[in-house]
Chain A
Amino acid sequence: MNGRDSSVPIEDAPRSVSEPFSARVGPDAPEGAGLPVAYMQRTRAYYLALGYDNPYRWSHYRDVPFAALRKPLAESSVALVTTAAPYRPELGDQGPGAAYNGAAKFFEVYSAPAGPEAPPDVRISHVSYDRTHTTAKDPRTWFPLERLHEAQGARRIGRVAPRFHGLPTNRSQRTTLDQDCPALLRRVHEDEADAAILVAN
């Protein structure tokens, strides 16, 4: 998988390097520079502005389940779960920089081959990613299948599970819990995966 949209000239790619945050820290750092964005608060204000006066109730649990790996990671099968959607040309612009495209949204769990030989084209035009500060030109930023295959090659994991799985993003927590989660679990079991990496957008 080359991970690059063919319409994007390589010279346009950001020349970023991996280095820790080192600038504008210390006493001169801007207020809030190190704090994560308060997405729940911002979203509440946004929908109030659209005219909704019943704030969304985000999912919250006190207790959190925990399943330890049942065998070493180097012997485990790891599944990839994404909220990205398969590219469907008939559904309008889903390319880098596309405006929000609700038509590309999907409502049922899907699965597709995760082998290295046929990289899937999955996109995120149907979700509210940050369109101001990122362009969605490199799918590897939301779909790390290529990296996962590298991990298999390096024997960091036993193998990449034979399929990856698409998870709908539904406002209804009930739909996610009652329909989507069981469908996802069934597919993970069918593939005999031991662990899953889930990537949000």
Chain B
Amino acid sequence: MCHQSVSLAARYLEEHGIATAVLGCARDIVEHCGVPRFVFSDFPLGNAAGRPFDEDSQRLTLDLALGLLESARTPRTTVQSPLAWSEDPGWKADFCDLSRIPRSEVAARRSDFEAQKERAREVSR
């Protein structure tokens, strides 16, 4: 949801004259929504601003975003970071890997999800 919320907010700010750049790791969600400027890092979720304890990586990622603010001429401009998370792309297979979730945990996850939805409904009323 993070990527969608941020994408919607970027669109809203742009509609009101504020230039934006989104940093994200979920390319499909951001581009499906449609944003003006997007820096995509092909990293695990939670690292949209660069790799941990790697200031060069963080500096490069922000600089890509600042460069987009200056150089993009049309909406839906995506720049992909040249950095990779690791030499082994195996991490990509693990997100929401159902085989990793014990059957006993399914009910707990569903219950937690329902609680989140109820709390969100209260806020929307």
A21 to B57, CA, bound (A): 13
A20 to B41, CA, bound (A): 12
Set A70, A100, A181: member contacting B112, Cβ < 8 A: A100
Q: Is the CB of A130 within 8 A of B29?
A: no
A59 to B28, CA, bound (A): 11
Q: Is the CB of B45 within 8 A of A128?
A: yes
Minimum Cβ distance to chain A for residue B120 (Å): 6
- Given A184-B9, A196-B13, are A133 and B91 neighbors across the interface (CB < 8 Å)? yes
Q: Is the CB of A67 within 8 A of B17?
A: yes
Q: Is the CB of A24 within 8 A of B6?
A: no
Residues of B within 8 A of A13 (CB): 52-53
A108 to B124, CA, bound (A): 10
B: interface residue count bin: 35 or more
- Given A36-B42, A64-B76, A172-B124, are A141 and B32 neighbors across the interface (CB < 8 Å)? no
Q: Is the CB of A36 within 8 A of B28?
A: yes
Q: Is the CB of A142 within 8 A of B46?
A: yes
Set B52, B59, B106: member contacting A16, Cβ < 8 A: B52
Minimum Cβ distance to chain A for residue B52 (Å): 4
Residues of A within 8 A of B46 (CB): 124, 127, 129-130, 134, 136, 141-142, 201
Q: Is the CB of B6 within 8 A of A83?
A: yes
Q: In the complex, which residue of chain A has the Cβ closest to the Cβ of B89?
A: A33
Set B5, B11, B113: member contacting A61, Cβ < 8 A: B11
